[in-house]
Amino acid sequence: MKGTIVILAAGQGTRMKSDLPKVLHRIAGKPMLRHVIDTARDLAPERIVVVHGHEGAKVREAITDEDLLWVEQAEQLGTGHAVGQALDALIGETTLVLYGDVPLITPLTLERLLVKLEQADLCVLTAELEDPTGYGRILRQGEALTRIVEEKDATDEEREIREINSGIMAFRTELLRECIRDLDNDNAQGEFYLTDCVAIARDAGHRVTAVKAEDAIEIQGVNDRVQLAALERAWQLRKATELMKAGVTLRDPGRVDIRGALFFGRDCEIDVGCVVEGDVVLGDRVYIGPNCVLRDCTLEDDTRVEANSVIEQSRVGRGCRIGPFARLRPGTRLDSGARVGNFVEIKNSHIGSGSKVNHLSYIGDTEMGEAVNIGAGTITCNYDGANKHRTVIGDRAFIGSDTQLVAPVTVGSDATIGAGSTITRDAPAGELTLSRAKQTTITGWQRPKKEGR
């Protein structure tokens, strides 16, 4: 695109009732303003200008792109005034005005607007709504646009009109400059309305036209948290549809949340209630059970994650089985065929191929070989209160249930550890090691009886 995209983001967002500036509230894990900037970038404009308001510092802290041009609108005197603050920053033939709180607008729709502008001087993005309440209405004479009237300034008859102003407009930059100069604030809200540019341009004989958005959700703005939630759902449904069309089975497209990038092979299946964050890569035929959270992880072919498991910054090989109720914390690597069962936590550890940690265990800072069997309730005591230490477990070792491995410690390959042991020194390969008080029986012992009987 030859020209500038101006993103209006100075509004207060009072109805969010939040300490966070409105445009930083998130949709799909990403601030609304970030969505709009990313969409703007898709059009490859010469410049992107963001008009920010009183909480600009917080917004700029959150959005650190170096090439953005920030303009302050110290007082919010209306959308026309906001664009007015950006006039000095405009370069190129065309100016496209977007809103920081209208996050679902797509590059495709904006392209249509820009193409239409090639035959005009001003082009407005409109939509037909069942309920147009609150929006500016589009007034036409025949096909031609004559004026936009704000709800608060409209007559009863004008309020019946269901074609509304999305707020998004494209201008020939020269015309925009002229129109902004001519704006006044003689209206119900005492604001400088950008929408008045339509009547000004038309009265001066310029060509004013419009494009209708095909899907009204694209032009929906966020004023409160109810609308925020509605757009989140709409975004998620759009994403879910995209995933299903690309070959992922979703048990219910209404009950999955993608807050990052999901990459996938063939025939993956995601059950209800899952959340995907950051970059998640699934191989072929990966199954994710209900209510799982996957954050920045890779799961290779044929791996199954059963219900209620949480996996973060981990790499899982082929054919592994995880959960239900498992937690893989950052730095976990499972080789092919490994199993991690219920109520098991693994952190910063490498689990060799075919090894099993099936029940109620904590494995931290551990290097584990292949075909190891970890009994129920095994704990690596990796932290001495000051430093973390490593545990090394050789191939085919068998760790009896309820064992504590006090790191740093090494269990040799083919070693067996007796159940209930506290292992503080290295256990040699191939041998049975146990630390356990000898079991005794006191024959004829009587339970104490209550006094006075």
Residue 171 found at the interface with ligand UD1 (CB under 6 A):
no
* Inter-residue contact 201 to 179 (CB < 8 Å): yes
- Catalytic residue of the set 25, 52, 206, 359: 359
Q: Please tell me the distance from the alpha carbon of residue 20 to that of residue 61, in angstroms, as a whole number.
A: 12
Structure tokens at 296: 């920045």
Which of helix, strand or coil describes residue 400? Answer: coil
The Cβ of residue 364 has, within 10 Å, a number of other Cβ atoms equal to 22
Residue 167 found at the interface with ligand UD1 (CB under 6 A):
yes
Considering beta carbons, is residue 23 or 411 the nearer one to ligand UD1?
23
Whether 359 is a known active-site residue: answer yes
Rounded to a whole number of angstroms, the distance between the first and last alpha carbons of the chain is 98
Binds 165: which of ligand UD1, Ca ion, none (CB < 5-8 Å by kind): ligand UD1
Residues 66-125 that bind ligand UD1 (CB under 6 A): 73, 76-79, 81-82, 99-101
User: At closest approach, how far in Å is the CB of 69 from Ca ion?
Assistant: 23
The DSSP symbol for 215 reads: S
Helix (H) and strand (E) counts in the chain: 8, 38
C-alpha closest to that of 280 among 259, 254, 303: 259
Residues 207-266 that bind Ca ion (CB under 5 A): 221
Residue 21 found at the interface with ligand UD1 (CB under 6 A):
no
User: At closest approach, how far in Å is the CB of 112 from ligand UD1?
Assistant: 18
User: At closest approach, how far in Å is the CB of 75 from Ca ion?
Assistant: 18
Binds 21: which of Ca ion, ligand UD1, none (CB < 5-8 Å by kind): none
Binds 345: which of ligand UD1, Ca ion, none (CB < 5-8 Å by kind): none
Residue 193 found at the interface with ligand UD1 (CB under 6 A):
yes
Considering beta carbons, is residue 188 or 244 the nearer one to Ca ion?
188
User: At closest approach, how far in Å is the CB of 169 from ligand UD1?
Assistant: 9
Q: Please tell me the distance from the alpha carbon of residue 259 to that of residue 250, in angstroms, as a whole number.
A: 16
**What is the phi/psi pair of residue 88, to 5°?**
-65, -20
Binds 100: which of ligand UD1, Ca ion, none (CB < 5-8 Å by kind): ligand UD1
Decide: residue 453, CB within 10 A, 0-12 exposed, 13-18 middle, 19+ buried. Answer: exposed
Element (H, E) at 341: strand 339-342
Q: Please tell me the distance from the alpha carbon of residue 34 to that of residue 103, in angstroms, as a whole number.
A: 8
Active site amino acids:
359
Residues at the contact surface with ligand UD1, assessed by CB under 6 A: 8-11, 51, 73, 76-79, 81-82, 99-101, 135-136, 148, 150, 164-167, 193-195, 221
Residues at the contact surface with Ca ion, assessed by CB under 5 A: 221
